[in-house]
Structure formats: structure tokens, C-alpha cells
């Protein structure tokens, strides 16, 4: 069979999901917008990538973040590409791959559920929004789902090792995805009960133990070198995790949104997601028991449970377990349609009516702000000062320009004043965004105690080269430090 025939047969067999993915990519590309302020985390990852590939002469470094995405964005920057543009394309391609993976996993669990699961995920506003943003949520979730899919399908030691490797890659993009080590282990153990009755229990248990060690070996093949490098650089292999734990505990009044936050938000994303409970509840019955459902349920319980437990809650964090919910929801829809002997066309009709009434306006809504022109001017002001050393209250400056962040001023005015006095002589510029500096006021009423002292010293010692106020009353200023 020629390659052309293979391609024709593939499209003939999978034309529906191919159409869904193509429409998703086209709509995502058409609705892309240029933002004067990109996502905070995206800016940080770009800065880390620049720092990594410039040997510390440009960008910034945050020890609490994993290396996966900074490496990709930094490599793009090193070869002369715009890291944000490249990251956007990379994110869209990974998101398209996620839809394909969701389809194939759902089809393995229940025939006819793949297209439904992919549509539910693609139409979710949170997935659609972040599908073009170069942050770690969707990319790490893709490798996590790939790892789980391989664990479910694995029949050889090589496949178990590969699934462990993919779990480690997910971890290297986002640390909480290390929980896939637990999920994978649960899934491997669960498979012992799905094996042929002709195989003795002693043989099953021995094979399962071997599979667990091989899966864990694949995971550790990447993670152990990472820990060794951490120990060599920081003197403690676990510094990134310690710093990340401290960071996620900041500003509890802003991010502590209650234990039911994700459950409520999932239903707001799509009421169909409630149907994920159907296969989860039925998987204990022999008729509906399926290794794939058990694996997905374990992922929702372990990964989703971690985020439900954490006080710091953000809507985008749901992306870590949303693909599992989408697959289970697709399976749940099929179960219900089959039980009531209803045609799948009924679901698609309801879905597309809902998409027309709810999803389309939300997806096509412009997020442009009146602040954008001033923010863009502020963020790009230092483009003519390559390799300048700066103090900055936001990461956007080093995402747009090739400057070096010596110390960040992300906390509040008091921290900014202290660092200005400590590190003034080491820097060329200081960039201040009053709205960013006052974020800490949510939990600390004295956050502006040193504001006037800092502004007074800057006016006396240094030269203000940029000063504007946005329509939302954020005061943006850049000072050239006089040495």
C-alpha cells in the first residue's frame, strides 16, 4: 500500500475528528489577538528561556519553575524567532494534539464517545482561551494524558517505560503532574484484575511489580538528573519544590475561593461535564468496569483532588484534569443515549445550539483594554537598551526586550524600596507599575508604607525617563539609575 493510500484511508476513517481539529485550529488562529500585556507566566517562561540560552546575560530566572517550557521558548529565541509567537504556535499544535488524544482514549473506552469528548473539550472556554498561550497547563496535561493512555494500553516493558518517561516530561513542564506517578501505579495495579483468569495470581502479582518498577524507572530516568543538577546548583535537590510551595501560599485572600470552586466552574464551562460522574459511578459494576475508566477516575481523584485541596485556586488550574473530565463526560453521554435508546444526533443538535447561543460569543469576545497602548509603550521602552540590568515590578519588560532582571519587585512597595537600596548600584534601570506593587495590599495593610520614600529617593538620585498613567489608574514609570 502506497503512502498516499495510507493517508486516504486515515482521513476516510477519521474524517470527523480531523474536521473538528481543523475547525478548532482555524477558529483559534482567526480569533488570535495581539496583547500589550501577555500572560504573567508566559512572560516569565520567555525570560527564563532567554536566561538559559544567554548564559545569564539576558532575561530572568525563577528557581520555583520547571525547565520544559523555558527550554523550548529559549531555543526559539536563540535561533532568531520571536519566542512568544513561536510559543503561541507550539501551544495551538499541542492543543490540537490533545483533542486527538482525547478522541482516541475515549474511543478505546466506549465506541462513539471520542468525537463527543473532543467537542466538549474544544468548546470549553478555558481550554480555548489558553490553547494559544505559551504556559505549561495544556502542554503538561497533554504529556500526562499520553502517559496514562500508554499505561492503559501497555503490554510490554518498553511501553511501560515510555509511559513513565512521558509522566516525567509532564512533570518537567508542571511539577504537580508528578502525581501521575501515583495515577500510573494505581492504573497498573488495577489491570491485575482485568487479566485472563487462566493466569495464576502469583504470576499476575509478579508481573505487576515488574511493571511498576519499569514505569517508575522511566519516570526517574528524567527526574533524577534534574534533582542532581538542583543539588549541584542550589545545594538542595528540592529547592524548586520548596520555593513553589512558599509562592503558592501567597495572597490567600485573592486565591482562596472555597472547596467547591472547581466543581462550580466546571459546570459553568459546560453542564455536560456533570456526566463524567456516570462512568465513574458505574465502573464498579462488572458490566461497565473498564481499565480505561478506572485509570481516568484515578487521575481525576488524585490530580483533581490535589487542586481541590490547595487553598490557592485559579480557573486555569482546571486544565490539569479537564481532559480526563472531558473523556469521562463523552463516555457518560454515550451511556445515557444508549440507555434511553436515543440517537447521537440528539446530542450533537443540543451541543451545536448551545455552542451558537453560549460558546461563540464567549470565544469571540475581545479582551482588548484601553490600557493596552500605554502598557505596550511601557513594556517595550527598554528595547533600545539591550543587556541593561533592571529592577522591575513585572516580568513583561524582559519578555519584550533583551534586558537582564537582577532582582524582581513583585511583592509590594516596601519590598521595592528595600531592594532598591540594596541593589541600586548593580542596576541601570528600575521599572515600576503601581498596580502590580499594590497587589500585596490584599493581605498586608502596610504594603505602601515605603511608597513615598522610594519615589522621593528616585526623584532625588535618578532620572525619570518614562511616566504615564493608564485609564485604569495604574501609574507606570521607568527611572534611569545614575551611577
Are residues 380 and 346 located together in one domain of the fold? no
Q: What was the pLDDT predicted at 264?
A: 94
Segment 203-212 shows an average pLDDT of 89
Are residues 359 and 387 located together in one domain of the fold? no
Q: Which of 242-256, 374-388, 406-420, 454-468 has the lowest mean pLDDT?
A: 242-256
Q: What was the pLDDT predicted at 30?
A: 85
Which residues share a beta bridge with 426? none
Are residues 357 and 455 located together in one domain of the fold? no
Answer whether 91's CB lies under 8 Å from 132's CB.
yes
In a domain, 205, yes or no: yes
The number of folded domains in the chain is 2
Are residues 265 and 127 located together in one domain of the fold? yes
| pLDDT confidence bin for 61, thresholds 50/70/90 | very high
In a domain, 76, yes or no: yes
Last residue of a domain, one of 341, 364, 387: 364
Are residues 175 and 288 located together in one domain of the fold? yes
Mean pLDDT over the full length of the chain? 91
In a domain, 329, yes or no: yes
Q: What was the pLDDT predicted at 263?
A: 94
Are residues 333 and 198 located together in one domain of the fold? yes
The pTM assigned to this predicted structure is: 0.94
Burial of 379 from C-beta contacts in 10 A (0-12 / 13-18 / 19+): buried
332 alpha-carbon distance from chain centroid: 26
In a domain, 228, yes or no: yes
Segment 291-315 shows an average pLDDT of 94
Q: What was the pLDDT predicted at 5?
A: 75
Are residues 207 and 260 located together in one domain of the fold? yes
Segment 422-441 shows an average pLDDT of 92
**Better-scored residue on pLDDT, 215 or 291:** 215
In a domain, 31, yes or no: yes
Are residues 383 and 442 located together in one domain of the fold? yes
In a domain, 6, yes or no: no
Q: What was the pLDDT predicted at 284?
A: 80
Are residues 85 and 140 located together in one domain of the fold? yes
Residue 122 has pLDDT above 70, yes or no: yes
Distance CA 276, CA 274 (A): 5
Are residues 341 and 428 located together in one domain of the fold? no
Residue 76 has pLDDT above 70, yes or no: yes
Are residues 297 and 187 located together in one domain of the fold? yes
Cell readout for 282 is 458505574
pLDDT tens digits, 182-191: 999 999 998 8
Residue 439 has pLDDT above 90, yes or no: no
pLDDT tens digits, 339-382: 888 888 777 777 776 666 655 555 555 566 788 899 999 999 99
Last residue of a domain, one of 335, 364, 393: 364
- Which among 75-79, 270-274, 291-295 has the top mean pLDDT? 75-79
Residue 270 has pLDDT above 90, yes or no: no
**Better-scored residue on pLDDT, 344 or 435:** 435
Distance CA 51, CA 45 (A): 10
| pLDDT confidence bin for 232, thresholds 50/70/90 | very high
Could you tell me the CA-to-CA distances from 289 to 35, 117, 206, 279, 333 in Å, in that order?
47, 19, 23, 9, 16
Segment 102-120 shows an average pLDDT of 95
Last residue of a domain, one of 329, 364, 399: 364
In a domain, 7, yes or no: no
In a domain, 247, yes or no: yes
Are residues 268 and 201 located together in one domain of the fold? yes
What is the span of the domain harbouring residue 384?
Answer: 372-480
Amino acid at each position: 500500500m502506497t503512502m498516499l493510500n495510507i493517508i486516504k484511508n486515515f482521513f476516510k476513517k477519521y474524517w470527523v475528528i480531523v474536521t473538528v481539529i481543523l475547525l478548532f485550529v482555524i477558529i483559534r488562529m482567526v480569533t488570535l489577538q495581539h496583547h500589550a500585556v501577555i500572560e504573567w507566566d508566559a512572560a516569565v517562561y520567555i525570560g527564563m528561556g532567554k536566561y538559559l540560552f544567554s548564559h545569564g546575560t539576558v532575561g530572568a530566572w525563577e528557581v520555583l519553575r520547571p525547565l520544559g517550557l523555558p527550554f523550548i521558548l529559549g531555543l526559539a529565541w536563540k535561533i532568531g524567532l520571536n519566542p512568544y509567537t513561536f510559543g503561541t504556535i507550539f501551544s495551538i499544535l499541542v492543543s490540537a494534539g490533545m483533542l486527538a488524544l482525547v478522541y482516541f482514549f475515549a474511543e478505546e473506552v466506549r465506541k462513539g464517545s471520542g468525537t463527543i469528548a473532543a467537542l466538549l473539550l474544544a468548546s470549553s472556554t478555558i481550554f480555548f482561551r489558553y490553547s494559544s498561550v505559551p504556559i505549561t497547563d495544556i502542554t503538561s496535561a497533554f504529556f500526562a494524558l499520553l502517559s496514562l493512555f500508554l499505561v492503559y494500553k501497555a503490554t510490554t516493558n518498553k511501553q511501560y517505560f515510555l509511559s513513565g518517561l512521558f509522566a516525567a516530561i509532564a512533570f518537567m513542564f508542571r511539577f504537580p503532574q508528578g502525581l501521575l506517578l501515583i495515577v500510573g501505579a494505581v492504573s497498573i495495579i488495577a489491570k491485575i484484575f482485568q487479566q485472563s483468569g487462566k493466569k495464576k495470581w502469583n504470576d499476575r502479582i509478579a508481573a505487576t511489580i515488574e511493571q511498576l518498577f519499569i514505569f517508575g524507572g522511566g519516570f526517574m530516568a528524567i527526574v533524577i538528573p534534574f534533582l542532581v543538577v538542583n543539588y549541584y546548583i542550589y545545594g538542595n535537590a528540592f529547592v524548586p519544590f520548596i520555593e513553589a510551595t512558599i509562592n503558592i501560599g501567597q495572597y490567600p485572600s485573592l486565591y482562596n475561593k472555597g472547596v467547591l470552586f472547581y466543581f462550580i466552574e466546571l459546570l459553568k464551562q459546560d453542564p455536560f461535564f456533570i456526566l463524567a460522574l456516570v462512568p465513574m459511578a458505574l465502573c464498579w459494576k462488572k458490566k461497565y468496569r473498564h481499565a480505561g475508566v478506572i485509570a481516568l477516575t484515578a487521575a481525576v481523584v488524585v490530580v483533581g483532588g490535589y487542586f481541590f485541596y490547595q487553598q490557592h485556586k485559579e480557573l486555569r488550574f482546571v486544565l490539569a484534569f479537564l481532559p480526563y473530565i472531558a473523556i469521562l463526560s463523552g463516555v457518560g453521554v454515550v451511556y445515557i443515549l444508549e440507555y434511553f435508546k436515543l440517537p447521537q444526533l440528539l446530542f450533537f443538535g443540543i451541543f451545536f445550539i448551545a455552542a451558537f447561543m453560549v460558546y461563540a460569543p464567549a470565544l469571540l469576545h475581545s479582551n482588548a483594554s484601553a490600557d493596552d497602548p500605554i502598557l505596550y509603550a511601557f513594556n517595550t521602552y527598554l528595547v533600545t537598551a539591550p543587556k541593561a540590568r533592571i529592577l522591575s515590578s513585572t516580568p513583561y519588560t524582559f519578555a519584550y526586550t533583551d534586558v537582564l532582571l537582577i532582582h524582581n519587585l513583585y511583592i509590594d512597595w516596601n519590598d521595592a524600596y528595600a531592594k532598591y537600596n540594596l541593589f541600586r548600584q548593580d542596576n541601570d534601570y528600575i521599572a515600576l507599575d503601581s498596580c502590580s506593587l499594590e497587589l500585596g495590599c490584599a493581605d498586608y495593610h502596610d504594603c505602601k508604607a515605603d511608597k513615598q520614600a522610594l519615589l522621593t529617593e528616585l526623584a532625588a538620585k535618578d532620572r525619570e525617563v518614562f511616566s504615564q498613567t493608564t485609564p485604569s489608574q495604574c501609574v507606570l514609570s521607568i527611572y534611569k539609575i545614575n551611577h
